[in-house]
Each structure stands twice: as structure tokens, then as C-alpha cells.
Structure 1
Amino acid sequence: MLSPSPFSLFCALLICLPLAIVFTITIPPYTAANYGCATDVPTTNKTSPNPVTTLGPTIKNQEKSENTTTNPHPQPLPSPDTTTTLPPPKEDDKLVILSPEEEEDKLLLRRVSGSDPVPLDTNTTTLPPPNEDFKPFIPPPEEEEEDKLLLRRAAGSYPDPSPPRKLAFMFLTTSPLPFAPFWEMFFNQTPTELYNIYIHADPSVRYDPPFSGVFTNRVIPGSKPTQRSSPTLISAARRLIAHALLHDPSNSMFALLSPSCIPLHSFHFTYQTLVGSNNSFIEILNSERNAYDRWAARGEHAMLPEVPFEEFRIGSQFFVLTRKHSRMVVRDTRLWEKFKLPCLHMYTCYPEEQYFATLVHMEDPRGCVPATLTHVDWKGSHGGHPRTYTAGEVGPDLILAFRRKRPRYGDFGMNGSDSSVTERRDPFLFARKFSADSVQPLLRIANDVIFKD
């Protein structure tokens, strides 16, 4: 046999080279099945019950993927512990739409946590419905533990007020007190041993001007942030009541007030009206519109069994409680476990208008007058807020009109038939809401009209 010459070997190489190239391109890649490797597996269809991912597509597969709409931008391989779904949004990116009608709601979008307001993007058209994204602020557990200790101590306070009986004025505010000069005139009419002042001031808010005069050093320790449509307003009121119970055993009547409240009478008239009563004044309504929706705001059966719908009540968040009922409020844990649950829907969630009315109704309905002594006009309401009286409306006629009106006694309305309320004509002692610029016209008529009995 002849030995191959260099020329024949060169010819053979030229003949075999194209076959080698074709073989190299068409052979399938090795897979994890060949090597038992979890990171190099073939791609399967997206509808496969057990989809897997490739470490990286071959040149041929990559060309194919660029011409398909199923995966136009191949993603890097996720780690085994990750998921292919989008991560949930950060908590501080979730938005709640609040009412635009009042000063405290002038920015439509606020962070759920109650922190700085988020600028409104007027160009967006993709804001979700408010009820779908509503996530109310839930205080951290350590805050509730602090409150539990305070409430337990207050529940053990003196049950009967010691003489001289005093009025506890409790202001729940997230702003400076615009009517502080007017209240100053009110309190300066009487000796200081007949009243106490307590303020729950949201610590996340700057108070400028600061509290002064009779309001100096009246902010209770442990004040915490509050937010509409959340149980934080209930917690704030309970803190106020607890501090008032512990601070002075002479406190006999406990009035909850807002920064937009004003007195309608002199201190002497207010004092005689409240101290002369053995009953609380708290609005308790049974047949309000959308009552079932409010009851089910936390879930259709979330309030059961402690609060059946038949026992659920609604009323004004501003009340005057006796010392007996104030101790009952701080002692309660059973109903609070239900009312502290976060609501699922914002616009049916006003727990501060439900908890106190329901509690007093279930525990001691005969110990209260089912009416609030704070006048308010809901006919001109906007966004869950009552009508706001402006400076131009303030005058003697407005004050005298408030005095002539009769409170609504429960569901018996203005002309009820229940013998316990038909003959009652308790006076309105306070009124809300007033715009901040109303303070000057109020001061001008204070001595000649409001404080003149």
C-alpha cells in the first residue's frame, strides 16, 4: 500500500472540514440530564406545569426568540429562591386618597404610614380605586403595650369624684389650636380649681405657634400619631381619658373636643349644666344610613360574636362622659379587640364614631342621654366633614340660633315619642366646625353675647 503524500492528506482535510462544521452546528447542547446539574436545563413551554429556565439560549434559540412576542427580552436566570412574579410595592409607595374638602386633607394623596404627603401627579390616569389600595396605618405592637399599661392603671382609679367636682376638657388635635385666645377668655372667667385641660397632640406635626397661656404644659405624655379612617383616633381619646382619670380624682365629667370647637356659653353655665347631671351625653344612633356597611367594614363577620349587628351603634365622636363611663372605656378590652381591626374600605370606616356609642349602649344604655352637646351641621358636609362656618357668618344671630336648637336624642329625632327624651331640652354647650379666621369675630362678640348668660 502506498504511503499518503502530503498533497493527498491536504485534499482529504479539505473534504472533511465542511462535514465537521455541519456536525458542530447541528448537534444539540448537553443538558442537565446529561450531567445532573441544576443550572443547565432546556427551556420548556410557558404553559408547562413545571417550567424551567435556561442558563442562556444558544445562538439558534436566541435568533428565534428575537422574532417571537412571547419573550422579547430574555431575563437573567433567577436564583432558586426567587419567584418570577413582580415583587409587591414597598409599603411607603402605597397611597390612600383622602378627602380634599378640609384643611387637613388639602393634599389628596398621603402616605399610608402617616408620614410626609406625596405630591399629586396630575398627569397620571392610572390611580387605583381608593378602596382597593386602602391600607390604614396600624400602630406597632409596642405602642399598644404602652397603652395597655396606662389603661390598666386608669381602670383602677377612684370610682367616685372627690369634691370639688371638676370638668376635664380634652382636646384631640393634629394642629395648633386656632381658637386658643377665645378659650383663654372662657377659662379665665373661673377659678382654676374647677377644671383641667388635657391635649393629645400628634407628635409628627409641628405646632406653630406652640401651646401657651392656659394650654401651656397640657399635652399628655405618650401622644401618638393619628389618622382618619383608623382606630388611632379611638386610641387617642382613650389616652386622654386615662390621663384625666389618673391626674385628678376630682374630674367628674370628661368632654372630648376638637380644635375647631368653640363654647356657646360661659364657663359658669357650662359647669352647672354638666356637674348637675349624673348621665353621660353621647349620641347613640341605631338606624343610620349604611349602618350595615359600616359594621361590615372590617369583614362581613369580623365583628362577631362580640358585636352583633343588632347591637352596633353610630354617633358623634365628641361626647361628655361621666367618671363611671370613663372608667368603663379604659377598662374595656372585649369590644376594643374588634374595633381595632383595620378596615377593608375607607369610606365606610369611621371607628371613632362607632366604638364609644356601641360600648356605652351595650354596657349601660340607661346611664346616658343619647345626644351630643356639640352642635354640628351635616347638611353642608363634604368628604366626610361637616359644614365649616366662616368668619363672615359669625355673629350674634348664629350663636343664638345654635342655642335655640334642640339636640337629636338617639333615633327619636327632634320629635321623638320616648318618654325619657320627649321632655328633655338640653342645651348645646359647644359647636363646630369654624374656620381659623373666625377667631377675631368670635372675640368681638365674646363678652356681650357668648359669655353673657
Structure 2
Amino acid sequence: MKTAKDLRLGMGDVQILPGSRHRPPMKKPMWIIVLVLFVCVFLICAYIYPPKSSSACYIFSSGSCQSISDWLPPAPARQYTDEEIASRAVVRDILKTPAVLSKNPKIAFMFLSPGSLPFERLWDKFFQGHEGKFSVYVHASKTKPIHVSRYFVNRDVRSDQVVWGKISMVNAERRLLANALQDPDNQQFVLLSDSCVPLYTFDYIFDYLMYTNVSFVDCFKDPGPHGNGRYSQRMLPEVEIKNFRKGAQWFSMKRQHAVIVMADNLYYSKFKAYCQPGFEGKNCIADEHYLPTFFQIVDPGGIANWSTTHVDWSERKWHPKSYRVRDVTYELLKNITSIDVSVHVSSDEKRKVQSWPCLWNGIQKPCYLFARKFNPGTLDTLLQLFSNYSAP
């Protein structure tokens, strides 16, 4: 039997092996890394420069084929608020209710003006001989107007102060609609400014508006700072940025749409609270966004997406071009009445042009029935030219 000493001696005789032998690193599969990098670069290029051929539709999205997002499961619909559910129910029922046909349909001409209307004499000439086919309403926000035409006498509605860019402009529009809706024969509602003039005869405009089933509300998507750049997330959840739209305030609206505008409080209250100059450092103009966004949400297929009132924004200023006496010629007016394509330009650096034909019941026709901004001094010239340029 070995003693402890023997064990110690025995252990000392054992050769102690060195640590684990250092193995050379495994050779990296470089071909896999290269392949992954190549695929990544290829995918990035394909995303930036999407293919146009139909054969690539199975891999990448393009303007002419199905998007990859279409393959994914649909995003879960958000839960509507109680106010949204109630609003949608009311709007849906109004739109589904058959329009009550009037034996004597009329157009409500609603004038939004700071005071007297400088073109009353021209409108008087336009209205003559068509009594019973129109109604006139005047909202004067600064001074009580002095009327020179019998068609405008006693047609003033209760007015309130209007400040450019603020919700008071929308309030004035709704006030005019509320007064005009009291006449059940009013079937079309046209909003006009004090600088507006008619471009056609009364009969042409009457048929153009009465025999179409859409409202002429200007509406387009502007990704720039004067479009979506004015959006506030405080409008959520009811108003999402994907539905935020822009357009001129001058509309021609059928009766059903006029009713739902007056019935709306949900979306109107959002714009009243969060769309105003200087809010969150943005200059949101309520009258340029409320109605386009409202109809984009509740009835996008029911509007034409352009206004029947022409205005020239070619000078790219805060306000459109104003026509002076030297500008008003037969050629100018004929050029305006020949336009049959609606054009919008985004306010970002890309200046993207959006255009679509002005379709009236599927037929391409001139877009504009009225035009603005005419200087008051052009009245006599317009009176002389009216019978010539207004013929279709």
C-alpha cells in the first residue's frame, strides 16, 4: 500500500500537458457574406429605382403592378370613437336618402364679401330673364352693402366678422348654407366672392350644375409645407394625415352635401381647435382644408376634386393674380373658358404637378363657370364683353 509520500512522488513524475492546443481560426465562408451584401445592395437599388416591367411585379412594387404591401395582411382597422360612429351613421343615411325632386329647382348664389359687391350690375345682367331659377344670399362681414340691383335687395343674411385664414371664414360659409337651405327649392349652392364674375350665360351654368350628381369641391393631396405640413396630430384619431387635403374654398355643392356640412360638428370642431394661423408654428388655413378633408373622409367619390371658379396662382404669392383693366380682354376670357384640365402643383421643392381632365358626367368639358380676382375698375369692360365671351 502506497504511502502519502509515494503518492506525491508519483504525481510529480507525471508529465503535465500544456493547455489546449491553439487551433487556427476557421475559414470564413466569404461567398455567403458577399452574396448577402449583393442582395442588400440589389434590394436598395430596386426600392429607389423600381422596375417598370411587368415581369418584376412578383418581386418589387412599381406604379404598374401590385405593391408588396398588398401581400401583407391588412392592418387592423382602428376602433372608432362614439362621436365618429354617430357622425358616420348620420352622414350615411343622408347620402342614401333619395334627393327630393323640386318642381322648381333653383341655384343659390351665395356671395361672401366684406361689403358692397362691385360687380352687381354684371350679375344683374346675368340674372335677367331667369327669375324663379335662382336665389341670392349676401354675407357682408365689414360694412352693410349698398345694392344697385333688384335681385340683391333684402338678400343680406346676418353676418359676422371674417378674418382671413381663420375658422370665421368657414363659419361664414356655413351661415350662408344654413340660410340657403331654408328654401327647399335650392338644389345647388354656389359660393362666390365679391371679385367673382360669370363666364357663361345663365342657362349654360344652370344646366351644367343641375344635371350633374357630384359637387364641385376642390380637393388634392399636397405633401408640401402648405399642405400636409399644416397638419396637426392633435386632430387624431378622427382626422388622419392620410386624409388631410387642400383646395380652394369656392365650391358648388348639391343639396345633400350642403346638409351633411351643416350636420357635421365632429370634424369641424377639430379644425376649429387645431387649424389656425400660428398654431404649433404652422399657418393652417381652415377654409383651404376643412371641406376638402371632410369630403375625403365621408364621400370622396361624390366630389369632382376641382372648383368651378377659376383663379390664377401663377405668380406663386400668398394671394392669386388680380386682373386689372389692361388685363381684361376677350382673349383672356376665352382662354379661361377653354381650360378643360384641372392642374395643381405641390408646395414642396419638387413642385409636383397633378392634373386630371374635367369630366362632366364622363364627358370632358370646360372646368370653370366663374372666375376671380377682378379689380372693380374692370366692370365697364366686362359689361361690354359679356354678351360675346359668355356664349358657350
Query: What's 2:380 paired with?
Result: 440
> Which of residues 120, 123, 137 in structure 2 aligns to 1:198?
137
* 2:127 is equivalent to residue 187 of structure 1: yes
Contact map agreement 1:166 1:253 (CA 8 A) in 2:
yes
* 2:290 is equivalent to residue 355 of structure 1: yes
* 2:248 is equivalent to residue 312 of structure 1: no
* 2:228 is equivalent to residue 292 of structure 1: yes
Distance 1:323 1:176 in 2: 27
The structure with the greater share of residues assigned to strand is: 2
Distance 2:147 2:362 in 1: 45
Distance 1:427 1:318 in 2: 13
Distance 1:428 1:305 in 2: 36
Shift of 1:175: 2.5
Give CA deviations for 1:78-113 in whole Å, capped at 9, x if unaligned.
xxxxxxxxxxxxxxxxxxxxxxxxxxxxxxxxxxxx
Identity of aligned residues (%): 30
Alpha-carbon spacing, 1:158–1:220, altered in 2? closer, same or farther (3 Å): farther
Q: Which amino acid counterpart does residue 200 of structure 1 have in structure 2?
A: H
Q: Which amino acid counterpart does residue 429 of structure 1 have in structure 2?
A: L
Shift of 1:169: 0.5
> Which of residues 255, 268, 278 in structure 2 aligns to 1:345?
278
Shift of 1:293: 2.3
Distance 2:359 2:154 in 1: 45
* 2:253 is equivalent to residue 253 of structure 1: no
Query: What's 2:340 paired with?
Result: 406
Distance 2:180 2:106 in 1: 11
Contact map agreement 2:200 2:369 (CA 8 A) in 1:
yes
Contact map agreement 1:166 1:252 (CA 8 A) in 2:
yes
Alpha-carbon spacing, 1:414–1:307, altered in 2? closer, same or farther (3 Å): closer
Contact map agreement 1:167 1:251 (CA 8 A) in 2:
yes
When the two structures are superposed, what TM-score results if normalisation uses the length of structure 2?
Answer: 0.68
Moved more, 342-351 or 265-274: 342-351
Distance 1:224 1:325 in 2: 24
Shift of 1:289: 2.4
> Which of residues 111, 114, 129 in structure 2 aligns to 1:171?
111
Distance 2:220 2:361 in 1: 14
Query: What's 2:173 paired with?
Result: 237
> Which of residues 332, 345, 352 in structure 1 aligns to 2:264?
332
Distance 1:237 1:386 in 2: 20
Contact map agreement 1:241 1:254 (CA 8 A) in 2:
yes
* 2:367 is equivalent to residue 427 of structure 1: yes
- Matched residue SS, 2:224: coil
Distance 2:379 2:331 in 1: 16
Distance 1:276 1:226 in 2: 33
Shift of 1:176: 1.3
Aligned ranges for residues 93-132 of structure 1 at < 5 Å?
Answer: none
Contact map agreement 1:197 1:215 (CA 8 A) in 2:
yes
Question: What's the C-alpha RMSD, in Å, of the aligned pairs?
Answer: 2.7
> Which of residues 390, 393, 396 in structure 1 aligns to 2:324?
390
- Matched residue SS, 1:385: coil
- Matched residue SS, 1:214: coil
- Matched residue SS, 2:364: coil
Distance 1:324 1:173 in 2: 25
Q: Which amino acid counterpart does residue 335 of structure 2 have in structure 1?
A: A
Contact map agreement 1:374 1:432 (CA 8 A) in 2:
yes
Distance 1:171 1:419 in 2: 26
Contact map agreement 2:359 2:365 (CA 8 A) in 1:
no
Larger radius of gyration: 1
Distance 2:340 2:269 in 1: 35
Shift of 1:416: 4.1
Shift of 1:387: 0.3
Distance 2:100 2:371 in 1: 29
Query: What's 1:369 paired with?
Result: 304
Query: What's 1:27 paired with?
Result: none
- Pairs aligned (count): 287
Distance 1:442 1:380 in 2: 23
User: Structure 1: which 5+ runs fail to align?
Assistant: 1-154
Shift of 1:448: 2.6
Contact map agreement 1:176 1:211 (CA 8 A) in 2:
no
- Matched residue SS, 1:192: coil
Distance 2:259 2:154 in 1: 24
Contact map agreement 1:171 1:198 (CA 8 A) in 2:
yes
Aligned ranges for residues 219-230 of structure 1 at < 5 Å?
Answer: 219-221=156-158, 223-230=159-166
Alpha-carbon spacing, 1:344–1:399, altered in 2? closer, same or farther (3 Å): closer
Contact map agreement 1:158 1:249 (CA 8 A) in 2:
no
Give CA deviations for 1:224-265 in whole Å, capped at 9, x if unaligned.
11101210000100111111111x111111110000010000
Alpha-carbon spacing, 1:395–1:308, altered in 2? closer, same or farther (3 Å): same
* 2:235 is equivalent to residue 303 of structure 1: yes
Give CA deviations for 1:319-352 in whole Å, capped at 9, x if unaligned.
1111110001000011011111163517722100
When the two structures are superposed, what TM-score results if normalisation uses the length of structure 1?
Answer: 0.59
